[in-house]
Chains A and B, each alone.
Chain A
Amino acid sequence: MTDVAEDLETRLLLDAIFHQYHYDFRGYSMASVKRRLKQAKEHFECRSISELQHRVLHEPAVLPELLSYLTIQVSDLFRDPAYFLALRESVIPHLRTYPSLKVWVAGCSAGEELYSLVILFREEGLEDRTMFYGTDINPRALERAEAGVYDLESIPRFTENHRKAGGKSSLSDYYTAAYGSAVLDKSLRRRTVFSDHSLVTDAVFAEMHLISCRNVLIYFDQDLQNRAIGLFSDSLIRKGFLGLGSKESLRFSKRAGDFSEFARDERIYQKQRAT
Chain B
Amino acid sequence: MDFNLLMQAPPPATPIEAVVIGVSAGAVDALSTILPSLPPDYPIPVIVVVHLPADRKSILAQLFQAKCQVDVHEIDDKEQLKKGTVYFAPPDYHVLVEDDKRVSLSSEELVHYSRPAIDVLFESAADVFGPALAAVVLTGASADGAKGLAAVHAAGGICLVQDPIQANSRTMPEAALKACPTAEALTLEQIAKRLLEIALKQ
Contacts and interface: CB of A to CB of B under 8 A. Distances in A.
Interface string A201-235: 00000000000000101110110010000000000
Contact of A35 (B96, B102, B129): B96
A116 interface: no
A258 interface: no
Tell me which of B55, B76, B78, B123 has the highest count of chain A C-beta atoms within 10 A of its own C-beta: B78
A7 B104 CA distance: 18
A116 B75 CA distance: 27
Given A30-B98, A74-B109, A35 B76 contact: no
A248 B76 CA distance: 6
Interface in B98-116: 98-99, 102, 104-109
Nearest to A3: B127
Contacts of B97: 31
Q: How large is the interface on A (under 10, 10 to 19, 20 to 34, 35 or more residues)?
A: 20 to 34
Contacts of B108: 32, 35-36, 72, 74
B27 interface: no
Contacts of A221: 78, 98
B98 A31 contact: yes
Given A32-B96, A35-B120, A247-B75, A72 B128 contact: no
B196 interface: no
A221 to B, nearest CB: 8
A1 interface: yes
B98 A35 contact: no
B58 to A, nearest CB: 11
Interface residues of B, number: 30
Interface in A220-256: 221-222, 225, 245-249, 251-252
B124 A225 contact: no
Interface string B77-106: 111000000000010010011110010111
B173 interface: no
Contact of B130 (A1, A160, A246): A1
B105 A1 contact: no
B61 interface: no
A29 interface: yes
B124 A31 contact: yes
B104 A31 contact: yes
Contacts of A157: 55
B60 interface: no
B34 interface: no
B192 interface: no
A218 B104 contact: yes
A74 B127 CA distance: 25
A34 interface: yes
A64 to B, nearest CB: 18
Contacts of B55: 157, 160
A2 interface: yes
A36 B94 CA distance: 13
A225 B78 contact: yes
A74 B109 CA distance: 7
Contacts of A35: 96, 108, 120, 123-124
B68 interface: no
A129 B96 CA distance: 42
B155 interface: yes
A179 B104 CA distance: 38
A34 B127 contact: yes
Given A218-B105, A219-B106, A2 B76 contact: no
A72 B155 CA distance: 28
A215 B107 contact: yes
Contacts of A251: 76
Contacts of A225: 78
Contacts of B105: 218, 247
Interface of A: 1-3, 29-32, 34-36, 72, 74, 82, 157, 160, 215, 217-219, 221-222, 225, 245-249, 251-252
9 contacts: A32-B104, A32-B106, A35-B108, A72-B108, A218-B77, A218-B106, A222-B78, A247-B76, A247-B77
By Cβ-Cβ distance, the 9 closest A-B pairs, closest first, are A31-B96, A1-B130, A29-B104, A218-B77, A74-B107, A31-B124, A218-B105, A72-B108, A32-B106
Given A1-B155, A2-B99, 13 more contacts: A1-B131, A29-B98, A29-B104, A31-B97, A72-B106, A74-B108, A82-B57, A218-B106, A221-B98, A222-B78, A245-B77, A247-B74, A247-B105
